[in-house]
Amino acid sequence: MAELIDGRLIAKELRAAVKAQVEVLQGYNVVPGLAVILVGDDPASEIYVRNKGRAAEKVGVAAQTIRYAADLSEAEVIAKIAELNADPAIDAILVQSPLPEHMNEQHIQEAISPEKDVDGFHPENVGKLFANRHGFFPVANTPRGVMTMLHHEHVELAGKNAVVVGRSVLVGTPMFALLQRENATVSLLHKYTPDALRHQLLRQADIIVVATGVPELIKAEDVQPGAVVIDVGINRMEDGHLVGDVDFAAVEPIAGKITPVPGGVGPMTIATLLETTVELAAQHHDVTLEAGWQNI
């Protein structure tokens, strides 16, 4: 039976480490500030934004949510972002997706100053990731949270064969960059990868990260004994229960370590968002902090 990687526990430890970093910053009279922009009334987005705000307040990050009606123009959102870019009390800016159809997500992402781009979507930060730049810059929080889990579990990456399934800008593509940066040999699979090739590559993998949104895509025969399996997928089934992109019941007896859904990668994303917010605040005020995950 695989060892379970408990995302709730790791996220709790990370939040405690972030809270300690906030206390260090308070010694310099710095309170990290996070601004969340929510456009429209999508109920799921409303829940995400509320959870982010609550989690921020709990670790001592000052969070403000700016709500707009769905018919707001793109120019008005960009004007608000420009104001937040110039506001010294704000260290991190996040625009909740999805945005209304009449807005161009790329324009919005590029309007956020790269120094306040807490989601790591600005092309300048994406470029730094792919150029293997050293030092701190924001990276998409879900794949960054997966790296924290792998570090926390002492999963060796150098020289290992890693397979990432799914190549979204949000998860799979930055995941590829983060794993190869730590000297894993990484294959990036997507929906045009033939099934037979996917099975073949997966069966050789030491580490598998799946982010496709295809319920239970990864089966027992895709996993070699002892592999580390990280399931980013969150799929709500018709009866309301959640399943991941991995057939958990079938894969768990074979894998070495595995994340459950729910309770795996999910809880890490918000904790990592707070970690990034605090690091941005430290950077803006020239304070050196130890990376949050190194303290857990």
Whole-angstrom distance, CA of residue 142 vs CA of residue 167: 13
The region of 46-54, 73-81, 102-110, 228-236 touching ligand NAD under the rule CB under 6 A is 228-236
**Chain centroid to CA 272: how far?**
7
Task: Please list the alpha-helical segments (H only) found in 86-233.
Answer: 105-111, 123-130, 141-152, 172-181, 195-203
Do the Cβ atoms of 64 and 93 come closer than 8 Å? no
Give the Å distances, CA to CA, from 19 to 60, 124, 161, 293: 7, 28, 35, 12
Told to check if 175 binds ligand NAD by CB under 6 A, we report no
Binding test (CB under 6 A) with ligand NAD, winner from 32, 33, 60, 166: 166
Segment 252-281, which members bind ligand NAD (CB under 6 A)? Answer: 265-266, 269
Q: Which is nearer to ligand NAD, 183 or 204 (CB)?
A: 204
The region of 51-59, 76-84, 117-125, 163-171 touching ligand NAD under the rule CB under 6 A is 163-171
Do the Cβ atoms of 10 and 149 come closer than 8 Å? yes
The two beta strands, 62-68 and 161-165, are unpaired
Q: Is 180 a catalytic residue?
A: no
Segment 23-52, which members bind ligand NAD (CB under 6 A)? Answer: none
Q: Which of 291, 281, 274, 284 is nearest to 32 (CA)?
A: 281
Question: Which residue among the candidates 6, 21, 52, 245 is catalytic per the annotation?
Answer: 52
Q: Which of 213, 275, 274, 281 is nearest to 246 (CA)?
A: 213
- Exposed/middle/buried for 283, CB within 10 Å: 0-12, 13-18, 19+? middle
Binding test (CB under 6 A) with ligand NAD, winner from 232, 255, 258, 296: 232
Q: Which is nearer to ligand NAD, 201 or 287 (CB)?
A: 201
Q: HSE-up of 171 (CA within 13 Å, CB side)?
A: 21
Q: Is 96 a catalytic residue?
A: yes
Told to check if 242 binds ligand NAD by CB under 6 A, we report no
Tell the smallest beta-carbon distance from residue 161 to ligand NAD (Å).
17
Segment 88-147, which members bind ligand NAD (CB under 6 A)? Answer: 142
Told to check if 163 binds ligand NAD by CB under 6 A, we report no
Sign of CA dihedral 52, 57, 58, 61: positive
Question: Which residue among the candidates 6, 91, 117, 119 is catalytic per the annotation?
Answer: 119
**Chain centroid to CA 129: how far?**
14
Binding test (CB under 6 A) with ligand NAD, winner from 233, 260, 277, 282: 233
Binding test (CB under 6 A) with ligand NAD, winner from 14, 34, 118, 171: 171
Q: Is 239 a catalytic residue?
A: no
Residues of the shown chain interacting with ligand NAD in the complex, contacts defined by CB under 6 A: 142, 165-168, 170-172, 189-191, 193, 198, 211-214, 217, 232-235, 265-266, 269
Q: Which residues are catalytic?
A: 52, 96, 119
